[in-house]
Structure 1
Amino acid sequence: MTTDTLNPPITDTDALIADMGVRARTAAKRLAVATTTEKAAALRAAAQQLRGEAPAILAANAHDMDAGRANGLSAAMLDRLRLDTARLNGIADAVEAVAALPDPVGAEIDRSTRPNGIELARVRVPLGVIGIIYESRPNVTADAAALGLMSSNAVILRGGSEAIHSNRAIHAALVAGLAESGLPTDAIQLVPTQDRAAVGALLRAQGLIDIIIPRGGKGLVARVQDEARVPVLAHLDGICHTYIDGAADAEIAVALAVNAKMRRTGICGATETILIDRAYQGPRAIIDALITAGCEVRGDKAIAAVSPHVTLADASDWDSEYLDAIVSIAQVDGIDGALAHIDRHSSRHTDAIVTEDRVIAGRFLAEVDSAIVMHNASTQFADGGEFGLGAEIGIATGRLHARGPVALEGLTTYKWLVRGTGQVRP
């Protein structure tokens, strides 16, 4: 493939996005009345196409990986970009898992009867057309498409240039599954250019796109929030904390600290800062285990005094999303010190406590204002699949509409159904 065929010249990006939006809205109307059986069949067909096209998808990804190395992508970015047989099978499995989930569309949230006999009900309905702008992770193409389809939303996808070959190969497989099932292929569209002007056109597409979901670094999210003229469901950075309380089990503390940081360092649920209660007796074991696992440790003065292998942290470390084998560690004065540190530095994504004291755990769960708060579990579980949601379109860190892993329910809104028997208002 040549660069020109992959990134064809677009003279009018506003017209391109407008045309995609009109086609997406037509597709969304069809999806709004599609049955659960139809949508599930389309997703199963798409998953089968992903498996059948594995050689082509992996070859496309190898092209992206070569380009990424040549362009100096970081190890974390390359890890997000990389596909292999196991990861591609996992993507197909996630699509099938979404097909097996309860369909939220039409589900009744609540019902009541007014004193005058009017019956009220709230039922879930699709958002409509969703624009999704994301970087470097080709699995988002399939996850977003699957969640959009099962929640009866049409999606317009704009992936990053780092994954251009991978995204197009995955998109082609998904569209083939839609065509096989008889649902409109315009329900899943991929912006055919990497021209940055197309992003601006998406952000200005009022009346055609109902919501924008950015999934990427601070620069992308900041641009979307600054320029969007349609609602935004933001996925911010993951400055996640694990607090080791004085009453933590030592074996559990070491295992969770290492897993939370090192299982996959390039995901947003990776712990970036570990807080250790001054009353905890085993900080050296945690530090040594992290170093043995290949992690660079940056600590405050108290932690640096524990081990000669610790680099002294500076002020920026407490606000850093490393997405790498680096962790910052600070000693704090119990639960109050941990809560104060998290309040100052957390991105409100995921924060965890390790303790056997249920009273202390209860305080942490109640007082930490993050989308996900955990007790005695690795922050790496901050994932829609692990929450039983099949997949996720992102982890929302705000407070409106949806929070935490955004999956099927988060891609719906509701409408009121009012049923009367001829009542008139006095």
Structure 2
Amino acid sequence: MGSMDPTRAFVKGVKRVVVKVGTAVVTRSDGRLALGRIGALCEQLKELNMKGYEVILVTSGAVGLGRQRLRYRRLANSSFSDLQKPQGELDGKACAAVGQSSLMALYDIMFSQLDVTSSQLLVNDGFFRDTGFRKQLSDTVNSLLDLRVIPVFNENDAVSTRKAPYEDSSGIFWDNDSLAGLLALELKADLLVLLSDVEGLYSGPPTDPKSKLIHTYVKEKHQTEITFGDKSRLGRGGMTAKVNAAVCSAYAGTPVIITSGYATNNIMRVLQGEKIGTVFHKDAHMWTSIKEVSAHEMAVSARDSSRRLQILNSEERRQILLDMADALENNDSMIRLENGADVADAEEAGYEKSLISRLTLRPEKMSSLVKSVRMLADMEEPIGQMIKRTELADELILEKISCPLGVFLVIFESRPDALVQIAALAIRSGNGLLLKGGKEAKRSNAVLHKVITSVIPDKVGNKLIGLVTSREEIPDLLKLDDVIDLVVPRGSSKLVSQIKASTRIPVLGHADGICHVYVDKTANMDMAKKIVRDAKVDYPAACNAMETLLVHKDLSENGGLEELVAELQREGVQLYGGSKASALLNITEADTFHHEYSSLACTVEIVDDVSAAINHIHEHGSSHTECIVTEDCEVAKTFLSQVDSAAVFHNASTRFCDGARFGLGAEVGISTSRIHARGPVGVEGLLSNRWILRGTGQVVDGDRGVTYTYKELPIKA
């Protein structure tokens, strides 16, 4: 769950809350009821009721529901010839009357299944001109709330005298959004939540990728800036109506939050103070001092700083890294103190041992980080290197030059050491960087970021590396394909899959690390046992640890398989088998071969030969790292040339697939993407290239202007 945002601190004082749900939320696009969304709404209201909140619901949907029912009735009672005639529009008031009873019956059933009592209150605009009615309304609602009953309000459209949507000087409502606003004030609610079919109020139409979600509405600023999309597809409202109602309500004293009713837990998240949707509050204009820098501003600043970093000479960039290594050493005790607080919180929260191990910055981890930063500083200058030089025609020279990608965003979980590695790689490769770490490493990440940015010279600017602290900023960042050039997710396969599905920015990384070791019939068994043990046991949670052991069928007949299995079992590895191995070894059959255990467990299967091993890897693997153990060079050659994974090894443990072990200094991650970088990604993977053409006035002139020579030239130092 996200942490309390300072602009949402007021929700801690909320007791009475009005929730308004619109037609677009309670019905689907075909007019039928959205039962899943209504169910999730009722479950949230029950939970709030149990927690002692006073909950009032304002619901739309009667007209839409009635229209759908009456259309069906008309169809059922029509002859074929009736259906050939033009069909008149159904009377809206009749639709409202028919739909209202259906809508309330549904709420009644839903709430009673949850052991909650609900009640119906129908009102129309005329009532609110009568002070006696208004007092009676307040008294009735207070009585119901005292009894823990949820009042369900709707406008009584069936007998409303209003001919068209209108807004008059009396402030009487003209749609269910303004009804909800009016009720919130009348009933002295502490908060009004307007559920919409979009995330909140955007700076433009929500479908426009350039539109940004406005987290806090400031009347003076946003009144003139916002352009609204279409009116609601079903009700009278739409975003204009919601904003009007929200502004009226908020400035009269009841704060409002507009958020999506499509998510199953947004009301709960709003009341926990998460920064979702758009908040309207009469004091919003005073919150600018605690407003966070927007995702877009952070990304633009990182890009500007990266361009200034690239102007520096090689020695100046190298010096930043050396200063960074010194600063990490000099601030070691402060870093360890903050990290210790994170570790203590994680232990208290009951996190798994593997996460706590990744979270802990032990002395040897810190010294190895410092060493890797100095190693990067001593690397050959990567920026502006000439990769290729070609004479296209006489005195027309084309050069291919290495250059930084621009700005990359790294989202990582629970490993504060990753922040140091990635920051060092960004500085070495001349890129801007945005970092989002896991909340469990919040203090460690903050102190490391502070130490690292303190050594960046003023002429570059410490905004070169931005630290994103709020989880709610991630969706905004993932929309910035005009400013961010690459996203690198480092974490669970779920995290990687979610990010890949929600951005148009290229994503570099791997969802799964399902690595295989294939032991061929000619393998040296002592070597095989060492490799298999290391690949599984050295660090079982790593993405380059072995998850499946494939064994040639001959080894199941000559005792080789038993030796390998005994070696793993001696180390406490839990074994699961494919269909052949489980029967032969009498072990539990694996549910699937596509499983990353990340623990002392693995799958074993028997294959006929190297081709069967390759086919198995292609079918069930994740294109990460594979190894063959064999003394037969031809078999090894087949495996190495045909296995289509990012890293393929002969007679060496899969655990070598690592940026530091590859001599890259550090790694931003391991990529199985089939883009410019695969395998462990160091400085090179964060570079692209540019083409520089040097001429003496040549023109194309329909390809008659020059005589092409295409001569490769020596690369200048």
TM-score by length of 1: 0.93
1:190 alignment partner in structure 2: 467
- CA gap of 1:51–1:8, structure 2 versus 1, over 3 A, is farther
Larger Rg over CA atoms: 2
2:646 alignment partner in structure 1: 371
Partner AA of 1:77 in structure 2:
L
Does 1:347 pair with 2:625?
Answer: no
The 3-state SS of whatever aligns with 1:421 is coil
Gaps of 5+ in 2: 9-214, 217-274, 276-291, 702-717
Query: Residues of 2 paired with 1:82 and 1:305: CA distance?
Result: 42
Partner AA of 1:186 in structure 2:
K
Per-residue deviation, 1:385: 0.7
The 3-state SS of whatever aligns with 1:104 is coil
Gaps of 5+ in 1: none
The 3-state SS of whatever aligns with 1:323 is coil
Q: 1:260-293 deviations in whole A, cap 9, x for unaligned?
A: 0110111111111111111124112211111222
| Residue from 50, 54, 60 that aligns with 2:332 | 54
Query: Residues of 2 paired with 1:239 and 1:264: CA distance?
Result: 14
| Residue from 424, 438, 443 that aligns with 1:165 | 443
Query: Residues of 2 paired with 1:277 and 1:271: CA distance?
Result: 17
1:236 alignment partner in structure 2: 511
Partner AA of 1:201 in structure 2:
D
Listed as ranges, the matches of 1:18-417 within 5 Å are 18-179=296-457, 183-191=460-468, 193-194=469-470, 196-280=471-555, 281=558, 282-304=560-582, 311-316=587-592, 318-417=593-692
Query: Residues of 2 paired with 1:98 and 1:349: CA distance?
Result: 25
The 3-state SS of whatever aligns with 1:205 is coil
Per-residue deviation, 1:51: 1.6
The 3-state SS of whatever aligns with 1:297 is strand
Per-residue deviation, 1:8: 5.4
8 Å contact from structure 2 (residues 306, 460) kept in 1? no
8 Å contact from structure 1 (residues 159, 167) kept in 2? yes
- CA gap of 1:85–1:182, structure 2 versus 1, over 3 A, is farther
Per-residue deviation, 1:99: 1.1
Number of residue pairs the alignment of both structures matches:
416
- CA gap of 1:58–1:152, structure 2 versus 1, over 3 A, is same
Q: Which has the higher contact order (CA 8 A, sep 6+)?
A: 1
8 Å contact from structure 2 (residues 408, 433) kept in 1? yes
Per-residue deviation, 1:115: 2.9
Query: Residues of 2 paired with 1:291 and 1:55: CA distance?
Result: 41
- CA gap of 1:32–1:331, structure 2 versus 1, over 3 A, is same
2:232 alignment partner in structure 1: none
Query: Residues of 2 paired with 1:418 and 1:350: CA distance?
Result: 40
Q: 1:131-164 deviations in whole A, cap 9, x for unaligned?
A: 1111111111011101111000010101111211
- CA gap of 1:16–1:168, structure 2 versus 1, over 3 A, is same
RMSD of the alignment, in Å? 2.0
The 3-state SS of whatever aligns with 2:548 is strand
The 3-state SS of whatever aligns with 2:383 is coil
Per-residue deviation, 1:128: 1.0
Q: Which deviates further from its counterpart, 359-368 or 10-19?
A: 10-19
Q: Which deviates further from its counterpart, 229-238 or 112-121?
A: 229-238
Partner AA of 1:275 in structure 2:
L
8 Å contact from structure 1 (residues 116, 423) kept in 2? no
Per-residue deviation, 1:219: 1.7
Query: Residues of 2 paired with 1:307 and 1:65: CA distance?
Result: 41
Partner AA of 2:513 in structure 1:
G
Per-residue deviation, 1:321: 1.0
Partner AA of 1:345 in structure 2:
H
The 3-state SS of whatever aligns with 2:472 is helix
Per-residue deviation, 1:190: 0.9
The 3-state SS of whatever aligns with 1:136 is coil
Partner AA of 2:352 in structure 1:
S
Query: Residues of 1 paired with 2:503 and 2:346: CA distance?
Result: 29
Per-residue deviation, 1:67: 2.5
Partner AA of 1:377 in structure 2:
A
- CA gap of 1:132–1:8, structure 2 versus 1, over 3 A, is farther
Q: 1:162-220 deviations in whole A, cap 9, x for unaligned?
A: 211221122122112325x96421112211x23x3211111012322222111111221
8 Å contact from structure 1 (residues 42, 183) kept in 2? no
Per-residue deviation, 1:302: 4.3
Partner AA of 1:45 in structure 2:
D
Query: Residues of 2 paired with 1:394 and 1:337: CA distance?
Result: 30
8 Å contact from structure 1 (residues 134, 158) kept in 2? yes
Query: Residues of 2 paired with 1:305 and 1:235: CA distance?
Result: 33
Query: Residues of 1 paired with 2:643 and 2:672: CA distance?
Result: 13
Per-residue deviation, 1:70: 3.2
- CA gap of 1:401–1:8, structure 2 versus 1, over 3 A, is farther
8 Å contact from structure 1 (residues 75, 324) kept in 2? no
8 Å contact from structure 2 (residues 497, 511) kept in 1? no
The 3-state SS of whatever aligns with 1:314 is coil
Q: 1:224-280 deviations in whole A, cap 9, x for unaligned?
A: 111113222233221101111111101100000010011011111111111111112
